[in-house]
Structure 1
Amino acid sequence: MTLKPETALLHTAHGDVQNFEAVQPGTFRASSVFFPSMQAWRERDWTAKSGYIYGPHGTPTTFALEAKVAQLEGADHCLVCPSGLNAIALVYITLLRPGDELLVPINVYTANRTFVTQELMGWGINVSIYDPTDLNSLTFTDRTRLVWVEAPCSMTFEYPDLPALVELAHRHGALVALDNAWGAGIAFSPFDFDVDISVHALTKYASGSADVVMGAITTKDKSLYDALKLCYMRLGLNVSGPDAESVLKGLATLTLRYHAHDQSARTLAAHLRNSAKVARVMHPALEDSVGHQFWSRDCRAAAGIFSVVFDGRFSEADIDRFVDSLRLFRIGFSWGGPVSLAVSYGKSVATLQELEGELVRFSVGLEATSDLIADIDQALARL
């Protein structure tokens, strides 16, 4: 058959890429995926990764990313999601039904808390708050289905006794889901502590470039993975090939960047601790931080974020001026990117201890540590 040019352009083979190997996998973008025959179409398995059936259900690029993230966290299965919060919500939507009970820590990630209170509770799911530093505060019933854990929380950085908490939850027949955006698969391996599910905000350290929003769910349990995958598909979730490509590139330098962020943040935290204008520095590597003994026992490193509580004599306006005076620390959300960030949250933070003054969270980037210290010092001088 002789084809007209416009038809031939659409039906020319792309070429075989099976024997092409490079540092990074190829970037595939697709909605329609072709089948070689109707038999293959009828035998398709939309829950497995044995083939490709529809772009939103996976491409070689997204499958490669999922395999790497699963390996990073010591899991067997992974789903990449449009955002970290979406990954959190997917766990809840998949596992919880009206009448079930969810346990969440009092200092849980703010967007997580909002989803729990504004959506889950409205759907008839019971929510119980617990103190992650006090195992006796966890109240279990025969309807307790899931315990949510952060190690540590991302605002005041209390670090829980994760193995004991997981053991207690399992003893009562509850599953444990861990928000592992802080650990990023580098500080510790979540499945060494027998958690059932790990949720990871790839937006942060895995990407490292502050230009991609993505989340991941990992697990070692095939039945949990299958349930999550089915819900994922019913909700029509997917991530784009270019975004997956970007995170794959970030993973290549993740370990180096994580330790660089860690080292710089510890230096800055120790420096701020010596200021008479600071009441408290919250960083799990500091000996007086809540749960330091568990962090030092269980972790190999720490993320490059910490919070500072200023002396109570400084007002909200004073601390706003301090943050506005910073030149290298930009005002913005998230962490794990190359540029340092700082935001004042005042006293409107869910915490286990009453705050002496205004709280500022620092996310340390990849600038020279000495430059960041100088920037903080010139802003402190304005207080």
Structure 2
Amino acid sequence: MKSEDGVVQGVPIEEIEKHPNVKFHRQGILDDDVQKYGEDTKVVKGGSHPEEWSTDPLQRTVVNPPVYHNSTVLFKTTAAYKYAASDWPFTGMWYGRHGNPTSWALEEAFAVIEGGYAACATGSGVAANNAAILAFVESGDHLIVTDGCYDPTREFCNGFLKRFKVETTYVSPLITPDELAKEIRPNTKIVFVESPSSLSFEIMDIPALAKVAHDAGAVVLCDNTWGPLVFKSHEMGCDVTINAATKYIGGHSDIMLGLISAKDETLYRKVKNSVRELGCPPGPDDCYLALRGLRTLGVRLRQHDVATLQIAQWLEERPEVARVMHPGLPSHPQHDLFKRDFTGGTGLFGFQLKPYSEKAVESMIDNMKIFAIGFSWGGYESIVMPTKINNVRSVEYWDYGEGLGPTLRLNIGLESVEDLIADIEEGFKRLNAAD
């Protein structure tokens, strides 16, 4: 809270906050000029304050922020200390755990591209999801979560939240607004959405669902890791949007980091305090790498999208494939919703083979030359992973019935499309030979 008299050494705090050197060092304040620019310019300029990144007497500076490694913060005067203490951790430099100019530059850049008021960085995408949820629930509360959520989110709800008497109801990713209204209780505080769904890629009607949630007084949290830039979750009605920056924002498979954007100041302060209480900040080096990755996010996503659609279309024609789960394809059941709400695609999708043995599938993917086997995605390299969707479902089960076999997930990287198709084609030869 602010000091009782609202004054630091005879100067009102409001006057201190007007000083140009204070603005950047106070989280939650975005550069209004950036908001008027186009999407690609926002990606490049969001959170960029080169005038703050140098003490050179001729005002020479650098493109990227320095990497601040700090725990202790030093205050030159008691007035500076009192200002920082007046509303911490919202007044800038206070203690290393609550951020520094490196992390604030990343947070501001993310808030700009998401269209939020301000953002918080955490040490992983899982920490971002968990901190965002904990900002809005307490013992005795209830939340509604899509059955297509990221598996660690389900584990957190079924384990941690359950131990503290917070109840979770899972609902179909294809739930209608009327169906959602029937699931909401007086103590429902959160509706948690993720679109496309993890592993199965259904598209939710988020604007309609958000309206129902808001009418009931619940906040809408969205895991938007699949669609940064291409899905504007705040515009679609989401109060808080979460991104595992480990993936597309980092873009190089070498960091662990999460980001949370809040639509307004009230929501932001709740999220920031939740992150503060949990003590889950990211390292400054990871923040630096994530910010550098974010600057090329637009061009990378466009390349991922083009290549992925080509490969998805090719897979639809293959005799080994029963169906392709990519919302950008006209064959996808929610393709019209995707076209309405998304401005493009990314590099992650799944497909379902016709009935093949597990041994045959292993033979297919074990000897790929370009695709590697791995859990994560969003990097420049292509990855394949066998999936068992129903292992992480409790309501809307995936059909593995007659004529439908194993499922695989592909992350399409930045390699040549022709080479990737050739690698999959050779894999299909091994698949058929083994079967």
Q: In which range does the TM-score fall when normalised by the shorter chain?
A: over 0.9
**TM-score using structure 2 length:** 0.81
3-state SS, counterpart of residue 43 of structure 1: helix
**CA–CA distance in 1 between the matches of 2:103 and 2:314?**
42
- Distance in 2, matches of 1:304 and 1:122, equals 37
Query: What SS class does the counterpart of residue 67 from structure 2 fall into?
Result: coil
Secondary structure of 2:235's aligned partner:
helix
Q: 1:219 aligns with which of 244, 262, 278?
A: 262
Assess if the C-alpha contact under 8 Å between 1:87 and 1:215 holds in 2: yes
1:2-44: CA deviations, max 9, x gaps?
xxxxxxxxxxxxx825834322122211111110112322332
CA offsets, 1:89-130, max 9 Å, x none? 001222111211110111211111111111111211111111
Show the counterpart of 1:334: 376
Q: CA deviation at 1:48?
A: 4.9
Q: 2:185 aligns with which of 134, 141, 149?
A: 141
Q: Counterpart of 1:203 in 2: which secondary structure?
A: coil
Q: Name the SS for the 1:338 alignment partner.
A: coil
Alignment partner of 2:335 out of 292, 305, 308: 292
Q: Distance in 2 between matches of 1:127 and 1:241?
A: 34
Q: Is 1:63 aligned with 2:104?
A: yes
SS at match of 1:226: helix
Deviations 1:211-268 (A, max 9, x none): 0110011012211211221221222221122111111111111100011111111111
Where does 1:1-383 land on structure 2 (aligned, <5 Å)? 16=55, 19-45=59-85, 47-135=88-176, 136-138=178-180, 139-184=183-228, 186-312=229-355, 314-346=356-388, 348-349=390-391, 350=393, 351-355=396-400, 356-383=404-431
Q: 1:263 to 1:374 in 2, by over 3 A?
A: same
Does the aligned pair in 1 maintain the 2:88–2:94 contact within 8 Å? no
The superposition leaves residues 189-229 of structure 1 with CA deviations (integer Å, 9 ceiling, x where unpaired) of 11111211000111111110100110011012211211221
CA distance in 1, matches of 2:321, 2:283: 44
SS of the residue corresponding to residue 287 of structure 1 reads coil
CA 1:347–1:297: 2 relative to 1, 3 Å: closer
Amino acid at match of 1:179: D
Instruction: State the match for 2:28 in structure 1.
Output: none
Q: SS state of the match for residue 430, structure 2?
A: coil
Q: Percent identity?
A: 32
How many residues of Structure 1 are paired with residues of Structure 2 in the alignment?
Answer: 368
Equivalent residue of 1:115, what SS?
A: helix
Q: Is the 8 A contact 2:132 2:274 kept in 1?
A: no
Q: 1:347 to 1:255 in 2, by over 3 A?
A: closer
**5+ residue gaps, structure 2:** 1-53
Provide the rounded CA distance (Å) in 2 between the counterparts of 1:78 and 1:101: 25
Letter paired with 1:336: G
Q: Which one-letter code corresponds to 1:165 in the other structure?
A: L
Aligned-residue Cα RMSD (Å) equals 1.7
Question: Could you list the runs of 5+ residues in structure 1 that have no partner in the other structure?
Answer: 1-14
2:191 and 2:218 in contact (8 A); partners too: yes
Is the alpha carbon distance of 1:120 and 1:35 closer, same or farther for their aligned partners in structure 2, counting shifts above 3 Å?
Answer: same
Letter of the 1:361 counterpart = R
Contact 2:390 2:397 in 1 (8 A): no
- Measure, in 2, the Cα distance between the counterparts of 1:283 and 1:47: 45
